[in-house]
Every structure is written in structure tokens, then in C-alpha cells.
A and B are shown apart, each in its own frame.
Chain A
Amino acid sequence: MFKKEGGVDDVETIIGPSVQVEGDFVAAGDVIIEGMVSGTIKTEKNLKVGEGAKIFASVTAANALIAGEVQGNVKIKENLELTSTAKIFGDVKTKILTIVSGATLQGKCQAGEERKSKPEKISDSEKSKNKERVKEILDEIPGRVQ
């Protein structure tokens, strides 16, 4: 996601520990948060929340790596990774979720896009067809005693 730990190669915005941001923070590029943010955070790219960061906001991003504290709902389009120091107090919705042991997650969690499969009814004609097919396959096995 991010090229290197703490690296800035692909990063466009850094909110450092000595800064507080309030309001609707919208960024087009990657975002690293090490300070305090309250309101909402939206980025179309990657988000990294550092260990000392405190976020009192709902978060939306394409990918996220969270090591700090988030109080609010987290909605990630692709990958969400929670490190052992991560604390999330809110609902999480993502496609792929990775949680390292030690992470705190208090809230509803929805990961993956698959839907529940429903039991299908098989008609009598299909049942008899299936039986015939199984029989044919078994007959083709050489040396099988009937």
C-alpha cells in the first residue's frame, strides 16, 4: 500500500503530531495522519493512521493501514489493515480485512462482498438425471466390481 514504513514517496498529505485538523478533510492523494483529526476524512487513495494519531471522524478511503485510534465509522473500498496498536470504536466496512492480534475493534464489522447462498430446490427430473450421470461415471472406472 505504502512503499515503506513512514516513507513519503507516494504521499501527498501529512498531518503531523503537532497539528490538529477540524472539519471535512478531503484529499485526492495519499494521506498520513500522525496528529488529531475531527470531522470527516475522505481520500480516493491510501490512508495511513500512525500509532499516536487520534481520529474523531468517519473515515472513507480506498486502502487503509491503521495503527492509531479511530472513533467513528470506517469505510474502506479495498484493503483495511489493523495493526496490533489499532483501536477502532465504530463500524467497519471493507472488502479485505486484516487484523493483527492485539488490535481493538468495537463495532459492527462487514468484510468481503460475497452474499449468503440460499438453499436451492432440486426437481425430481434433475435428481434422476444426476443419478444416471453418477452411474455412468462409476461404470467408466476400469476394474470396478459391480
Chain B
Amino acid sequence: MYLYLYDSFLNNKKFSNTLARIETRLTDLGIGGKICRISPLRNIKELILDEIRNGVKTVVVVGDDKTLNQIVNVVAKYDITVGLIPIGPDNRIAQTLGIPEGQKACDVLAARIIEKIDLGKINETYFLSGIQISSSQITIECENQYRIKPQQENSQIAIYNLRPIFATDLNYFNPKDGFLEVFIQPFTNGFLKIFKKDEERSIIPFKKLVVKSQKSISVITDGQKVLKTPVKIEVVPKKLKLIVGKSRMF
């Protein structure tokens, strides 16, 4: 049984045609189901839990990265398969998962290639793609064995589970390998940016780490949740069942 969760931005009239085509295609493929619309007044957690109690086994998110990230924390705790129909410009996760936009995503859903992928966990919050650390003034303690200290004040520091779009050429960030990756790259300006960018980056796989800092620093998960240091980050292997496309990047 399928539950389709429509994000609130899809209430905009410009999406009505797209939604109509998607609904027709889903019916044609015989995978139609209950449609629920997310709104700020509705508690997503309660909504999904009610439907799980009613026998829903597959939750399909219709929306963008933000919509998917919102439900990851709820469904991770249950034996539920998650699907995605990407609509809108902010759909980087869908690209990584090999899911085309709009109507074509229905065929991916019908094909039902299911991958059990790793999730990251920061304190008690799950995340799917990654987290961003807002300052370089930190110490990262990995596996209680070694410490990583960024040497340049102005660096991009992130922790990834899914492969980010800028790193399509890299053989890293596989959400099935049982590791998360620390990514550190100094910000370079001007012409040097083209040449120096790749030389200076650091990519370190890990299973568990703690981010510490002297002053409290913001850590932003992909679900837009902001936490303050110190934070404990770990990988939870094979935690989420996702319907993926053939052209997935892992």
C-alpha cells in the first residue's frame, strides 16, 4: 500500500498539470495510493505514523530535497520503503539516486529497485545527504583514535553520506559502504580556484566522530535543523530502504 506525501509548495497552481499527469501515470502503472498534503499545521510524524498503523508499507515523497529530509527522521525508525517523485529545482538527492523529475519518476517507482542505504546520525537526529559545519575553528575527534584540525581559517567543512553534486567524478561518498566522509576544502578565490581546488581537499572516511570547538558553533543538517557543538556523528548502516533508479551514483 502506497502513501503519497505532497509538499505544501505543490499547492501552487503552476504544478497542477504536472501533478495530474503524475496521478494518471501512477494509476496506469497500478501503484496509486492515498494522497496526503503536508502543511505547516499538520504534524508529519503523526500523519505518517497513523498511515503506518493502517498498513502503509511504502511512503512516496512528492516534492524536493527538503520534503524528503523532513520525513527521513520519521520513517528511519520503521520498516518502511521510501520513494521519491522529484518536482521543483531543488532536487539534488534525486539526481544522486538516479530518479528523473516528474512523470518519469513513476516508472522508477513501478520498477521498485530497492537499496538499503546508510544514514548519518547526529546526536539523535538522522540525516540522509550530509551536514555543514559553519566554522573552521573546530577539532574533529575520529573513532577516539585521532584528531583532525583544519589549518586554514576559511574552509568548507562538511560530512557527507550521499555523493554531493560537485563530486560526481570522485569515487567517494557511497551510501552503501558503511562509512561517512569528512570533507575539508579551503575556500580559494579568483583564478587559482580552478587549479588549487582539488589539490587541497581532504576526504577522510569514518564511522564515528565528535566535533568539538572552543566557542559554540552551528552544525546544519540537510533537514535544515541547526545543532550546536559539541556533536556526536555516526553512521547507521543499511538503515533506510529507498526506491532508486538505474542511473544512481552508487
Contacts and interface: CB of A to CB of B under 8 A. Distances in A.
Interface in B192-225: 199-205
B151 interface: yes
Interface residues of A, number: 26
Contacts of A16: 184-185, 199-202
B206 to A, nearest CB: 10
Contacts of A21: 146-149
Interface residues of B, number: 23
Interface in A1-28: 6, 8-27
Interface of B: 143, 145-152, 155, 170-172, 184-186, 199-205
A68 interface: no
B170 A22 contact: no
A35 interface: yes
Contact of A19 (B145, B148, B205): B148
Contacts of A25: 145-146
Given A14-B202, A14-B203, A14-B204, A22 B152 contact: no
List the 4 closest pairs (A to B, CB-CB), nearest first. A23-B146, A16-B202, A19-B202, A20-B149
Given A8-B170, A23-B145, A23-B146, A18 B152 contact: yes
Contacts, number: 68
A27 B184 CA distance: 18
A34 interface: yes
A35 B172 CA distance: 20
Given A13-B205, A17-B199, A23-B145, 13 more contacts: A8-B170, A16-B202, A17-B151, A18-B150, A18-B155, A19-B148, A21-B147, A21-B148, A21-B149, A22-B149, A25-B146, A34-B199, A35-B202
Contacts of B184: 16, 18-19
Nearest to B147: A22
A20 B199 contact: no
A8 B171 contact: yes
A16 B170 CA distance: 15
A14 B143 CA distance: 17
Contacts of B205: 12-13, 27, 29
